[in-house]
Amino acid sequence: MPHKITLTGSATGPLREYDRYVAFDMREKGSPSAPKGLKKSTFISYTVFVAKKAFNKTGLTKKSIMHEKILIQGEPTLDIPIDECPGEVGVICFQITVLPNKKDKEKNQSDEKKEPKQETSAAPEAPQNTETKKQEEEQAPVSQPVANEQKKEAEETPVQEKKAELKPKTLPNQPKGTQDLLNFDDIIVPEEFLKTRPNPEKTQKVIEFVKRTGRLDEPLTIEKDSKVLKDGYRRYVVAKTLKIEKVPVMYGYQK
């Protein structure tokens, strides 16, 4: 099984363009503590190689890649010429994702808290003329039961509309609990999942279910903002095997 590697951070050097791919350097700090008797690791430099098509999908540019925080998933390589790979370790990128900026996220939350709630103040009622009020009372319907019935209908209508709004949006031909349909290529799989191998018998049952029904039996659980897979790796493997473009997901494990 090939070695997998995951990097997070920003580019530490300029973007270099080649015929079919781009390359840039990254740096990560080693573990703060090493086993007794061993030297502590310091910074490790990496040179990341990304296909141009995958890079263009992220929307990154030569300038923005120096400031945006990105996540790289791939495998180390020793087959790149040293003049193209100034880093200590070369990394062939299989997936690149732009992570949300923590400062911008905190600023937006702070701005939302500072915004005052808009309250509508009722305008004072103008004094009515005694004769006008008397005419309105004469024109009003005399039947009290009819007025009560109309009032009851008016009260029931908002309640019924509210109940209709509370009903969850259901997606046709999708498993129970599905909240959204997501592009398969957008899902990020953590390294700990990639090191495991789902039970072949259970995986085959899910494959047979998809071939029979045309859908997965349960949705995948992911984090909404980062799209990192949290549960349902077996179904992820099935979707990859059967080349399912859109997979049902439910959001959970929010920070």
For 91-113, how does the pLDDT look when each residue is reduced to its tens digit (9 = 90+)?
999 999 988 876 666 666 666 66
Gap between the Cα atoms of 146 and 144, Å rounded = 5
| Mean pLDDT within 44-70 | 90
8-48 pLDDT, tens digit per residue, is 888 988 899 999 999 999 988 776 677 877 877 778 889 99
Q: Which CATH architecture has domain 180-251?
A: Alpha-Beta Complex (3.90)
φ/ψ bin of 91: left (φ > 0), alpha (ψ from -120 to 50), beta (otherwise): beta
Taking CA atoms, 13 is separated from 26, 119, 132, 245, in Å, by 7, 52, 81, 35
pLDDT higher than threshold 80 for residue 208: yes
pTM over 0.75: no
| Mean pLDDT within 120-138 | 54
Which residues lie below 8 Å from residue 114, measured CB to CB, with a gap of 6+? none
Which pLDDT does position 42 carry in this prediction? 79
210-240 pLDDT, tens digit per residue, is 999 888 999 999 998 899 999 999 999 999 9
| Mean pLDDT within 123-136 | 54
- Asked if domains 5-31+41-102 and 180-251 share a fold, the reply is no
Q: Which of 241, 251, 247, 253 is nearest to 175 (CA)?
A: 247
Taking CA atoms, 132 is separated from 123, 128, 140, 147, in Å, by 20, 7, 12, 21
5-31+41-102 maps to which CATH number? 2.40.50.1040
Percent of the chain with pLDDT over 70: 69
Domain ranges of the chain: 5-31+41-102, 180-251
